[in-house]
Chains A and B, each alone.
Chain A
Amino acid sequence: MPRRVSPLKRPDRPYLALGLEGSANKLGAGIIQHLPDGSSKVLSNVRHTYVTPPGEGFLPRDTAQHHRDWAITVINDAVKKANVTMNDLDCICFTKGPGMGAPLQSVALVARTISLLYGKPLVGVNHCVGHIEMGREITGAQNPVVLYVSGGNTQVIAYSQQRYRIFGETLDIAVGNCLDRFARVIGLSNDPSPGYNIEQEAKKGKRLLPLPYATKGMDVTLSGILTSTEAYTLDKRFRTVDSEEEDIFTPADLCFSLQETVFAMLVETTERAMAHIGSREVLIVGGVGCNERLQEMMGIMASERGGKVFATDERFCIDNGIMIAQAGLLSFRMGFRTALNESRCTQRFRTDEVHVAWRA
């Protein structure tokens, strides 16, 4: 079988792109450089997170306000750290969707303004594709099954014929959303993120409590598990502090049980996709990808199949601007532009809607 040649040619000169991300509570700006030798270089990656008090989630209106307050500072910081000027850029990339409406729109307004002021083309980027492309770039994974897990998304993805195809996904809420909401119920801090704190709490857990295991073929459902875990906090055996008492459990035990259950479900559906397409690589992207227990469990499954897990650190797995710049610059180099009158943001934007022109 003839090897397919990548449609993406090496650039004749260095290319620079600014990426702006704000689909949830993280506001990011990053500048990436594509060099003639085919490599990519992260010149800057600046992020500011909107952190709410413990027990509270983030609402669209306040999140948009946060992004409006911080956009200029974050962008200026990114440009300064990259040691470039806005004029050196080839394009301005921004998250078109999916995500929360008002926050997305706030960032888009800034992107459009800068685009018109400097006469730079706009490139609208799919948030999920941003995660995937940054994961590929950083880890060098060739053709992995991608597990994209965050507060807003849970998808098992595999690349085929210029599309990132969704093999399986959550039928209701995202795994990050499930974990974050339980973290709120037990009053964990949202700083630096509820997911990080639930992971630390889970490490202290010892007792594995039974929770519903809800894989549905290639898909998963999570809201029933969340309800069951929350119900345990009303159980008379629930104690806020651990003791030698028999037949009790603590918040740490619940965090531990919740993680073990949902992560096992994700590992199962990922394994199913791997078996289906005959892949030996798993790439975990998205905020929940920072979770070391998930990486560990996935690693055990992958090595049993003679494969390997790729993951990035919190700079890249948590929402950021550089991933938008990366995916944006790849599509820009293939001739993709977003006209001003098409630069509306959209809360629903399927991963497989994007034509991945830069891959064979």
Chain B
Amino acid sequence: MKIPFASEKHASIAKQVIEVDPELQAQAVKRTLTTEGDVLVATFTCLTIRLARLTVNSFLENVDLVIRTLGAFSEDAEKHAAQDSKWPS
């Protein structure tokens, strides 16, 4: 699956945040998470179709949460980052 983000930074954040938790059935599900620019690329290999459905649903719920969180706070975060950079460190 390829999920586009607003920026490379956001895609990277999503990858880092989601990859912390191992898959619930790590022995039956193989997962790779990478970024290609501002796109999050997730590849799942599962033993059964049912497991694939459960895994993908769970992953998309998590991605949705991260996207909404980024949406809610990134503008505010960028505003402060811009302000901070005006001052000498």
In the complex with contacts A87-B80, A118-B77, A113-B20 CB distance below 8 A: no
Q: Once bound together, how far apart are the Cα atoms of A281 and B68, in whole Å? A: 46
- Among A72, A105, A117, A340, residue most surrounded by chain B Cβ atoms (within 10 Å): A117
Chain B interface mostly helix, strand, loop or mixed? helix
In the complex with contacts A105-B21, A112-B17, A86-B77 CB distance below 8 A: yes
Q: By the criterion CB–CB under 8 Å, are A113 and B66 in contact?
A: yes
Interface: A59 (CB within 8 A): no
Q: By the criterion CB–CB under 8 Å, are A344 and B17 in contact?
A: no
Interface: A114 (CB within 8 A): yes
In the complex with contacts A72-B68, A110-B65, A117-B20 CB distance below 8 A: no
For residue A118, give the distance in angstroms from its CB to the closest CB of chain B: 5
Contacts of B68 in A (CB 8 A): 72
For residue B62, give the distance in angstroms from its CB to the closest CB of chain A: 6
Q: Once bound together, how far apart are the Cα atoms of A71 and B66, in whole Å? A: 11
Q: Once bound together, how far apart are the Cα atoms of A155 and B52, in whole Å? A: 40
Q: Which of A76-97 contact B (CB under 8 A)?
A: 76, 85-87
Pick the contact of A71: B20, B65, B70, B74 (CB < 8 A).
B65
Pick the contact of A112: B16, B61, B76 (CB < 8 A).
B16
The chain A residue sitting closest to B18, CB to CB, is: A109
Interface: A341 (CB within 8 A): yes
Contacts of A221 in B (CB 8 A): none
The chain A residue sitting closest to B22, CB to CB, is: A344
For residue A349, give the distance in angstroms from its CB to the closest CB of chain B: 16
For residue B74, give the distance in angstroms from its CB to the closest CB of chain A: 6
Q: By the criterion CB–CB under 8 Å, are B77 and A117 in contact?
A: yes
Interface: B69 (CB within 8 A): yes
Q: By the criterion CB–CB under 8 Å, are B72 and A340 in contact?
A: no
Q: Once bound together, how far apart are the Cα atoms of A108 and B69, in whole Å? A: 12
Q: By the criterion CB–CB under 8 Å, are A109 and B77 in contact?
A: no
In the complex with contacts A76-B72, A114-B73, A341-B20, A109-B66 CB distance below 8 A: yes
Please give the residue numbers on chain A whose beta carbons come within 8 Å of chain B beta carbons, in ascending order. Answer: 65, 68, 71-72, 76, 85-87, 105-106, 108-110, 112-114, 116-118, 340-341, 343-345
Please give the residue numbers on chain B whose beta carbons come within 8 Å of chain A beta carbons, in ascending order. Answer: 13-14, 16-18, 20-22, 61-62, 64-66, 68-70, 72-74, 76-77, 80
A sample of 5 more A-B contacts (CB under 8 A), given A116-B13, A117-B70, A118-B73, is: A72-B72, A86-B77, A87-B76, A113-B66, A344-B22
- A selection of 9 A-B contacts at a CB cut-off of 8 Å is A72-B68, A72-B69, A85-B76, A109-B69, A110-B69, A114-B73, A118-B80, A344-B20, A345-B21
